[in-house]
Structure 1
Amino acid sequence: MSRHNCIFLVLAIVGATNLAIGQESRVIDKVVAVVGSNIILQSEIEMQYAQYLAQGNKADEDFKCYILQQQLTQKLLAQQAAIDSIEVSESEVDDQINARLRYMANQAGGQERLERFLNRSLLQYKEEMRPSIYEQMKAGKMRQNIVSGIDVTPLEVKRYFESLEKDSLPYFSTEVEVGEVVVYPQLTREEKQRFRDRAEELRKQVVEGADFATVARLYSEDKGSAAYGGDLGFHTRDMMVKEFTAVAFRLKPGEISPVFESEFGFHFLQVLERRGEEVHTRHILIQIKPTSASLDRAKAHIDSIYGQVVDKKLDFYTAATLYSDNKETKYNGGMLLNMENQQGRTTLIPIEKLDASIFTAIDTLQPGQYSRPAQFTDHTGKTGYRFTYLKSRTPPHQANLEQDFAKIKEAALDDKINRRLSEWFESRRKVTFISINEAYRQCDELKIWLTGEEQ
């Protein structure tokens, strides 16, 4: 089913960003559709189309049909939300807007860069966004109300699977369940001292008059912010590690912090601006790099854990929970999770989605076996030691209930939700005045919204 023909793909992205990119529309505004008492303007379509182009997509005038379909869906949901007295608070809207602006600022390289890109202040842009975000959130809550409580029984899953054309059943690639125990080197205070001394030296330069941004560009080891003079933009208390937050929210604008340690290394920061529960900071980071002695200690530690697991003196899940330094996996008993599963996280991971180093480690293992501890570098650049556990390997196969019940259940649930939504939209369209401008009546995506006379 194509995205242009599937109204339920629209529903899935009702909460997606509908932000203008700061370019003023040159089109003289006109009403392109009416849904009940709500109108959709050409300028709304043009702004979203401009965003579509800004994301690197090729020009496609037909995509405007899809945008209008999305808007019709949102208006109908929001209108029913108003009838059903579904409310969205100002604080909920503020939180959503602030989260989106933080993301945009990070992508743009800071607040000032984003404001130049938008050609307006964030405060002005925030107010321009508010009506659209409010409507999106009301529509999203309405959708949740419609589908809340929907579930499928094992019998419904079986019936759904049996209703599928056998020739069209999906073919799944090899999937694996993989666990890991990770140990990072721990430095003594004496081993860390030279890194703290380096951070103290750079702080002294800044305090004595050196330009903070220049020092950050030259020497900060936070690659994400160094190019921008260490600027981290605005952030709330929950966006940074606790050590950073504790320091940042104690300082006044203009103040420079002492050097402090976090899991990333030694920092010092400067507060540039405070705005309610947000603070605008810049920082300089010196990373703590492992010494040969700390690496030797880490290797001895993981060898000991590995030996206990292989000798069955300690089961793998307990070992991971007690000793692994990877916070993302240790509380899952060391098991890696497939985060792309929409209905819930699962330990079954398509082999092509594995990190290359993990794939190499398990490639020759049989289920139940462990790879020997080996040094590796994680996605943040930290060096450590790891051994992996291959719990299971499912060979490529066509979908079947025995091996793929969880996936088939997910598809059956999606189908049931879509049918519920289809029934709801059909009933609402019949009793809602909907009019679409002549210029859009030839869109295939919009045929379902037109009455027999309009078609």
Structure 2
Amino acid sequence: MMILKKILLSAAVLFTALSGFAQEKMIDKIVGTVGQKIILKSDVESMAMQYKSRGENHGDNLKCFVFEELLYQALLVNQARLDSVEVSDMQVDGELQRRMMMFEEQMGGREAMEKYFNKPYSEIESHFREIIKDQLIAQQMESTISGDISVTPQEVKKFFKSLPKDSLPLIESKIELAQIVIHPKIKDSQIEQIKKSLQEYKERSEKSEDFSFLASLYSDDLASAQKDGDLGWIRRGDLVPEFAAVAFELDKPGEISDIVKTEYGYHIIQYLGRKGERIHIKHILKIPKPTTAEKIKAKAKLDSIAESIRSGKITFEEAALLYSDDEESGKSNGIVVNPYTGTSEFTSSQLDPATNYILKQMKTGEISEPFESTSMKGKPEIKIVKLLNKTEPHIADINTDYQQISDLTKAHKKTELISNWIKKIQKTTYIKIDDSFYNCDFKYKGWLAK
């Protein structure tokens, strides 16, 4: 749990390039030319190394596989130039910053990153700007080729029938649930103790102790605590408003904020630096925890509510609206919405461990006993759940899994469009590859046609 809003990033290709950038200087050479784009031996070596690190070996054909991937990207970028398909500097800068921030966090900060590559940050950033620009142009070109793909019910049925039985996808178990949540009361004395502790950490850090050490030892944000409280370089929009308002007022390196209250708990923030619209900060979070006595009270209340539901005095939906402390599900008959998909269906891995464990033992329509859990915001809660529906893992069926099969049909249709485009453009594009790749069993033979 972190105060950062969830940001999903894909940086595998950047990591690939960074890996090659960090290697000792090697005798490099051009191994592929596609129009005006070139592919270096080091590009292939670096990307192959990244595939290996992820356990994707592709047998003895890894370098050939990687080389064809790079040829395809070069074909997209070269054709984009001819077709005037472009991306803006703002898009490139934004994506570059996002990826560099993520990599910086993974490596433990900017200094660690510079030390690893033995180069200043500005040089690392400059080196990868063109790489990322090419990636974005390739993505834009691919989108232009495939367009807005749609499929008819007839196409979905035809595609499903064409699949060999042993190739039908396995559909994961899906769970739908409703809940009634009670947040155990937090005593004022507990909040005062948390504030006292945070004030003590601030004073200790301002005198002589390392804020990083204190964060790793005391912060309840376990994800950032593992990185000494470091949240990396972030923008205002990445933070919840109350936290951002205080963090962006800090302007002296090492400065520590007063205590900040957010929906996650109580924080102190250390300011490390600013770059344009981004700041580099650390924090210590303390989450108020209810006493055993308050947990017992909450469980007793839920016991009573559950008994009233089971005896027919009130429905689960009515009880959720009247008694649940979770406003979102309470107003929706207790139904829990999956924040990852926006639907009411969850896979086991998308549920918190306690809730997942309880649901595994339940039958559809059954109501659980009260149990302790943790909210999406990391706060302790007591709740009862009702299992609304559960599907078992099964082989895809057109009648029950139409949406998943429709998505597969779209993906297949896109693959066909791209495949036909590659074969067509290969015939009109100057392509030259190094002799060392002539024995590769490429998917598209047009790479060797010239």
Asked if Structure 1 and Structure 2 have the same fold, meaning a TM-score greater than 0.5 normalized by the shorter chain, the answer is yes
Q: Which residue of 1 aligns with 2:266?
A: 266
Offset, 1:229: 4.2
Deviations 1:308-355 (A, max 9, x none): 76548456499379945397998896335495xxxx665555568765
Q: Which residue in 1 is equivalent to 2:195?
A: 196
Between the aligned partners of 2:26 and 2:246, the Cα distance in structure 1 is 49
- Give 5+ residue unaligned stretches, structure 2: 1-9
Task: State the partner residue of 2:17.
Answer: 19
Paired with 1:109 and 1:388, the residues of 2 have a C-alpha distance of 40
Deviations 1:257-311 (A, max 9, x none): 1122223332222212111111112233333222235434543565576567654
Alignment partner, residue 247 of structure 2: 248
Q: 1:417 to 1:28 in 2, by over 3 A?
A: same
Number of residue pairs aligned between Structure 1 and Structure 2: 437
- Cα displacement (A) at 1:132: 0.6
- The residue correspondences of 1:241-390 to structure 2 (distance < 5 A) are 241-254=240-253, 255-296=255-296, 298-299=298-299, 302-303=302-303, 306=306, 311=312, 313=314, 316=317, 319=320, 323=324, 325=326, 334-335=335-336, 337=338, 339=340, 347-349=344-346, 356-377=353-374, 382-390=379-387
Separation in 2, partners of 1:290, 1:39 = 62
Question: Residue 236 and residue 303 in structure 1: after superposition, are their counterparts in 2 closer, same or farther (change >3 A)?
Answer: farther
Equivalent residues of 2:76, 2:138 under 8 A apart = yes
AA in 1 matched with 2:267: H
Q: Structure 1 residues 53, 379: CA separation in 2 closer, same or farther (over 3 Å shift)?
A: farther
Deviation at 1:34, TM superposition (A): 0.9
Compute the displacement of 1:440 (Å): 0.9
Give the TM-score normalised by the residue count of structure 2: 0.84
1:180–1:336: 8 Å Cα contact kept in structure 2? no
Task: Write the letter of the residue equivalent to 1:445.
Answer: F
- Equivalent-residue separation in structure 2 for 1:451 and 1:320 (angstroms): 67
TM-score by length of 1: 0.83
Instruction: Answer with 292-301 or 403-412: which moved more.
Output: 292-301
Distance apart, 1:134 and its partner CA: 0.2
Q: Which residue of 1 aligns with 2:34?
A: 35
Return the alpha-carbon distance in structure 2 between the equivalents of residues 420 and 303 of structure 1. Answer: 58
Query: Measured at CA, do residues 414 and 218 of structure 1 come closer, stay the same or move farther in structure 2, by a change above 3 Å?
Result: closer
What secondary structure sits across from 2:252 in the alignment? coil
Does structure 1 residue 103 correspond to structure 2 residue 109? no
Q: Deviations over 1:179-213 (max 9, x none)?
A: 44444334244431111111112222233444434
> 2-side partners of 1:99 and 1:407: how far apart?
31
Determine the structure 1 residue equivalent to 2:238: 239
Amino acid at match of 2:242: E
Aligned twin of 1:436: 433
Kept in 2, the 8 Å contact 1:15–1:136? The answer is: no
1:135 deviates by: 0.5
CA distance in 2, matches of 1:178, 1:338: 14
Paired amino acid for 2:285: L
* Cα distance, 1:127 vs structure 2: 0.7
Deviation at 1:177, TM superposition (A): 2.9
**Corresponding residue number in structure 2 for 1:80:** 79
Q: 1:69-148 counterparts in 2 under 5 A?
A: 69-148=68-147
Is the partner of 2:289 in helix, strand or coil?
Answer: coil
Letter in structure 2 aligned against 1:263:
E
Matched, 1:425 2:422: yes
One-letter amino acid of the counterpart of residue 231, structure 1:
D
One-letter amino acid of the counterpart of residue 275, structure 2 = R
Q: 3-state SS of the aligned residue for 1:252?
A: coil
Hey, what's the Cα distance between the residues in 2 that align with 1:35 and 1:203? 58
Q: What does the per-residue CA deviation read over 1:219-259, in whole Å, with 9 as the maximum and x for residues that have no partner?
A: 44444444554333321112233222111100112322112
Distance apart, 1:128 and its partner CA: 0.5
Match of 2:5 in 1: none
Corresponding letter in the other structure for 1:65: C
Structure 1 residue 70 displacement after superposition: 1.4
Which residue of structure 2 aligns with residue 10 of structure 1? none
* Contact 2:29-2:40 at 8 Å conserved across structures: yes
Distance 1:57 1:397 in 2: 27
1:273–1:430 Cα change, 3 Å: same
**Unaligned 5+ runs, structure 1:** 1-12
Residue 405 of structure 1: how far off its partner (Å): 1.1
8 Å Cα contact 1:309/1:316 also seen in 2: no
Return the match for 2:445 from 426, 444, 448.
448
1:415 is paired with a residue of what secondary structure? Answer: helix
Say which is worse superposed, 159-168 or 193-202, in terms of deviation: 159-168
Query: Could you tell which deviates more after superposition, 248-257 or 350-359?
Result: 350-359
Q: 1:119 to 1:181 in 2, by over 3 A?
A: farther
Residue 434 of structure 1 aligns to which amino acid in structure 2? Answer: I
Deviates more, 1:221-230 or 1:274-283: 221-230
| Correspondences of 1:203-242 after superposition (within 5 Å) | 203-226=202-225, 228-242=227-241
SS at match of 2:335: coil
CA contact (8 A) 1:320 1:334 kept: no
Tell me which amino acid in the other structure corresponds to 1:191. Q
Q: Which residue of 2 aligns with 1:414?
A: 411
Deviations 1:354-413 (A, max 9, x none): 655334322343323322321124687642112223222334544322112112111111
* Distance 1:275-1:162 versus aligned 2 partners, 3 A rule: same
Amino acid across the alignment from 1:360: Y
